[in-house]
Amino acid sequence: MARLRVKFTYPADLVTEPVIYMLATQYHLMTNIRRADVEQEQGWVVLELEGEEVNLERGIDAVKRMGIRVDPVEGDLIAG
């Protein structure tokens, strides 16, 4: 299993889309929300994603195609 930490930044028109659910169901990725701030106009979420390498790549590609910005996250997140 591979693990990846990313930050998704959502535009206003995608804030209400079930993107994290889609990653879990369509790409069989385990998701762990570490931080988030979602408002009506925009939102962001920091996630830990775990799954098969090919599924991580396909899931991230799908999110990018939707128009969500994806950035890698380095360093410590909230411990726990």
Angle, helix 19-27 to helix 53-66, in steps of 10 degrees = 140
Average pLDDT of the chain, as a whole number: 92
Residues 13-45: pLDDT tens digits? 999 999 999 999 999 999 999 999 998 889 999
Torsion of CA 31, 38, 68, 27, to 10 degrees: 20
Looking at per-residue pLDDT, the higher value among 5 and 40 belongs to 5
> % helix / strand / coil in the chain, to the nearest 5?
30, 40, 25
How much is the pLDDT for 77?
A: 53
Residue 79, pLDDT above cutoff 60: no
Residue 78, pLDDT above cutoff 60: no
